[in-house]
Amino acid sequence: MVVFALRDVARFSLPSNGKTRMRSLVVIGGGPRAAGLLERIAAQSPASALAVHVVDPFPPGAGRVWRHAQSPLLRMNSMAEDVTVFTDDSFDGLGPIRPGPSLAEWTGTDPTAFPSRQVQSRYLEWFFDHVRKSLPPNISVIVHQASAMKVDGDRVWLDNGSSLTADVLVLALGHLDAEPEPEHRKLAEHASEQGLVYVPPLYSADADLSAVSGDVVLRGFGLAFIDLMVLLTEGRGGRYVRSGGQLTYVPSGAEPTLYVGSRRGVPYHSKTGYRLQGTRPSLPHFFVADALQGRELDFRADVWPLMAKEIAWGHYHELFTGHPGLVRMPFVEFAASFTAFPWYSNEMRALEELAVPDPADRIDFERLDRPLAGVTFGSAEEFQEHLRAYVEADVARRSDPRHSADLGAFLALLSVYGQLAGLMPFDGWWHGYFSYLASGPPPDRLEELLALSRAGIVRFLGADMWVVAVEGAFVAGSATTPDVVRANGLVEARLPTHSLSRTADPVLRSLRAAGDVSEDAAGLVRVSPAGRLINENGDEDPVRFAVGPYTTGRAFAAFARPNTNAPAFRQNDLLAREVLRRLSD
């Protein structure tokens, strides 16, 4: 296998073997999704000669989001044992299984640790190199440390002036930037005119926070907030000390005061720190997407109730098999009735009350979604105490094996997510709800949040927060308390919402200008079930494919938890077969 690394090349082609022309696959984007696709190509061992060109200015394997060049303070929100880039025995794709080490096995670290993103970067870079070395000699990989600027026919133009010829093109662009939405543009203009600070939705590692000081409002309470919290506190020289079992923050004096709120008004739930105590259920049990194909579906009326039942099944399976002392009947009896009743039925509620005496052991999706709904406080200080107690209880629950039913629900959530490929477009609420329940921060990050709150560095605003731009300031409040905050800065603690019409990506812009790509109602790039681009006339492109969170093919993570038949791996397998089939024509 011949491997080249190119920066400034006007044109590149591999020599023919005299019998068949060397075919060319160009992959724009070199992050973990591109590495996974390359692994599936390697697994299927095509016989024909193939040159694979990978275009990305960032290191191959890691890409932009997982690049090593970011703060060492930023960490993953997954335990090391829960991260793999390899298929295993759970994989049911058509391609062969090629097992390999999880992140924990590769690093030799504590399986329950939450590694830094720099550690994950090295794992992903190693994986790309490992895959490249595993390719048969008839396949070459050429890495172009450049940005793709334009696609014109079968030509891909790079920012160094060179171009590539693509027999097949795959867009593996990852998370993308977008042009500012009108609201963000107006807020930025207000900040510039008034001498204030405004940070629009950005990836935390890319945000310039140097001007952030004083009293600052952060809009968003998810993982982006956690990253910003770390960078603006510990990243500015503060430190934590533990005394008498409680974490205390010692400020450096360079920290701003952070006023945080969101629609829910609470942070994402902590990741669990225990394993199942009962038997592992076979999932999915109820929510099998194949049974819903070909039907006219309403997400809230037809799809969500079945998803909710599946997640509740995981919760109660663990509660009954892992904690029989907490329930009033044998699991087989409960399961028979549970199977028969619709999730949103009076019979199901009666069954839960009969079988599970403690309401805290029952699962209530609506209460979980909006824990502050209808709750108000007379002052901001009362609310600070309330939310600290809420976060403390969440950390304690997610650290206590007595509540391992939450892990059962989490595993069922993953199985539901894995069934969504190719199903109807679901509303934006679902992805946010999934992230809120299943993709929260490590528990120690929430302990740090509590320490910052006690130190007065972080102040909680509440639910249904609002922000307005006024003369000389940003003013923020919520439905939770009557108090309002006047601040000299506003930081959007959330990722940019990508849409094709506002994309900042030059390749998508060039394809859109030519009518070769189209978007759905949410602004996602439309692709076929096999990943082919769909043009503005509704036709599938025979040689251009796209995969990733900006497409209608779903935003599956490029790496996964072991033994979960990861949807991204199945999607990569299908895409690799389609690409190789086209290249063999």
* CATH 3.50.50.60, the chain: domain bounds: 3-178+498-583
Bridge partners of 158?
148
Residues 310-340 have pLDDT tens digits of 999 999 999 999 999 999 999 999 999 999 9
Task: Specify the range with the lowest mean pLDDT, choosing from 15-29, 352-366, 510-524.
Answer: 15-29
- Per-residue pLDDT tens over the stretch 82-99: 999 999 999 999 999 999
Distance, CA of 584 to CA of 21 (rounded, Å): 11
pLDDT at 5: 39
580 and 41 Cβ atoms separated by less than 8 Å: yes
| Secondary structure in 3-state letters for 183-222 | HHHHHHHHHHHHCCEEECCCCHHHCCCCCCCCEEEEECCC
Q: Which helix (H) or strand (E) holds 37?
A: helix 32-44
Top CATH class, 182-268+446-492? alpha beta
Is 3.50.50.60 the CATH number for 3-178+498-583?
yes
Q: Is the pLDDT of residue 422 over 60?
A: no
- Residue 507's closest CA among 55, 182, 6? 55
Among 218-222, 405-409, 432-436, the range scoring the smallest mean pLDDT is 432-436
Residue 374's SS3 state is coil
Where in 244-375 does DSSP place strands (E)? 246-250, 257-261
Evaluate whether 44 touches 93 at the Cβ level (below 8 Å): no
pTM of the model: 0.92
Lowest mean pLDDT of 51-60, 71-80, 425-434, name the range: 425-434
How far is residue 327's CA from residue 201's CA, in Å, rounded to a whole number? 46
How far apart CA 27 and CA 572 sit, in angstroms, is: 13
pLDDT at position 301: 85
Report which residue type is found at 82. Answer: D
Which of the pair, 511 or 288, is modelled with greater confidence? Answer: 511
Number of helices and strands in the chain (H, E): 15, 20
Where helices occur in 455-584 by DSSP H, the ranges are 506-513, 567-583
DSSP codes joined into one string, 221-237: -SHHHHHHHHHHTGGGT
pLDDT value at residue 518? 97
The model's pLDDT over 436-463, given as tens digits with 9 standing for 90+, comes to: 998 899 999 999 999 999 999 999 999 9
Burial 93-115 (b: 16+ CB within 10 A, else e): bebeeeebbbbbebbeeeeebbb
Ranges of beta strands (E only) in 341-480 are 458-462, 466-470, 473-477
